Amino acid sequence: MKDINILAIESSCDETAASIVRNGRTVLSNVISSQIDLHTLYGGVVPEIASRKHTENINPVVREALSTAGMKLSDVDAIAVTYGPGLVGALLVGVSFAKAVSFASGKPLIGVHHIEGHISANYIENKDLEPPFICLVVSGGHSHLVKVKDYGEYEILGRTRDDAAGEAFDKVARAIGLGYPGGPKIDKVSKEGNPDAIAFPRAKVEGSVYDFSFSGLKSAVLNYLNQCEMKGENYVRADVAASFQKAVVDVLTEHSMTAIREAGMKKFALAGGVASNSALRASMEEACAKEGIAFFKPSPILCTDNAAMIGAAAYYEYLKGNFSTYDLNAVPALKLGER
């Protein structure tokens, strides 16, 4: 069979990314231009600044993706682009650019769901991973427990009712003076702390075993900090970080294992930015090993927002002939499994 090379573009948040992916599994290039330093000044991603930066970055990023892969646009079989969910202004840069490239090159266009991309990141390094499996997608904007029934077919088992897991990391990191981005900073500091030092709550959502709620946990951390302050006591930052992280990881692990058992699945995969959290990886690996479940996770570089994962997801749409038309729009609140 002929090789299918897809040029994928991702601009849903603060990374401008482009990649060439062959047959959905082989990454020929994976270029990511991060704007994190710019947004750190503001303590979080500023949508307008992100959108402006994408406009500046998109040509060099796409050019580099092609040149690293040793390809010209004419060698590519399709143009894939993230069209949601994400920041609308940021998404629009990638979507508008990709549509114009598709139009001018005559190559088909494939709109890809960002979360579907994160899930598909697992296909890249695990050549034998195939659906069905359970996937936990956790990032700054998302916390989803998903049953991957087939390529492009998903059933959402649970989602967060309030903050995304990564959002909780960011907020707690800010509160204990670690700054932005919170995830990697808490991960690092926690290694020096005692995860059992403080008993933060493991929140359950009534009537829904798979849903998450992290705002209560975040409030518990803030209350704890306030109480320390009122009593004039110093808190141990590493202990707070480690105990908070443990509380998040425990809930994510427990819900995931319940889903695996209930669905009778033998495979589990992590995905999304928070999937590079070392405590979560260790916890899920251990829990899966205990029950004989095959555990998959992308390398940290494929956990973060990238375009290779978009190219991986797009390949399976390509095979099905699911192409987008030129009225493809950015959909900031796009639901998984929706088109």
Q: Which residues bind other proteins (CB under 8 A)?
A: 41-42, 46, 48-49, 51-52, 55-56, 58-60, 62-63, 73, 88-89, 92-101, 103-105, 325-330
Smallest distance, other proteins to C-beta of residue 105, A: 5
Contacts of 300 (CB under 8 A, 6+ apart): 276
- State which residue, 87 or 274, has the beta carbon closest to other proteins: 87
State the Cα–Cα distance between residues 265 and 102, nearest whole angstrom: 39
Smallest distance, other proteins to C-beta of residue 314, A: 17
DSSP per position, 139-204: -SS-EEEEEEEETTEEEEEEEBSSS-HHHHHHHHHHHTT--SSHHHHHHHHHTTS-TTSS------
Q: State the sign of the Cα–Cα–Cα–Cα dihedral 55, 61, 67, 72.
A: negative
Smallest distance, other proteins to C-beta of residue 23, A: 23
Smallest distance, other proteins to C-beta of residue 92, A: 5
Smallest distance, other proteins to C-beta of residue 174, A: 16
Smallest distance, other proteins to C-beta of residue 45, A: 10
Smallest distance, other proteins to C-beta of residue 165, A: 25
Neighbouring C-beta atoms of residue 309, cutoff 10 Å: 35
- State which residue, 50 or 252, has the beta carbon closest to other proteins: 50
State the Cα–Cα distance between residues 268 and 270, nearest whole angstrom: 7
- State which residue, 128 or 327, has the beta carbon closest to other proteins: 327
- State which residue, 112 or 189, has the beta carbon closest to other proteins: 112
Smallest distance, other proteins to C-beta of residue 109, A: 10
For residue 315, the one-letter residue type is Y
- State which residue, 56 or 155, has the beta carbon closest to other proteins: 56
Phi, psi of 66 (to 5 degrees): -70, -45
State the Cα–Cα distance between residues 13 and 279, nearest whole angstrom: 25
- State which residue, 41 or 199, has the beta carbon closest to other proteins: 41
DSSP at 334: P
Contacts of 283 (CB under 8 A, 6+ apart): 249, 250, 252, 253
- State which residue, 107 or 147, has the beta carbon closest to other proteins: 107
Closest CA to 153 of 15, 310, 339, 287: 339
State the Cα–Cα distance between residues 331 and 339, nearest whole angstrom: 10
Tokens, residue 148: 């991957």
- State which residue, 321 or 326, has the beta carbon closest to other proteins: 326
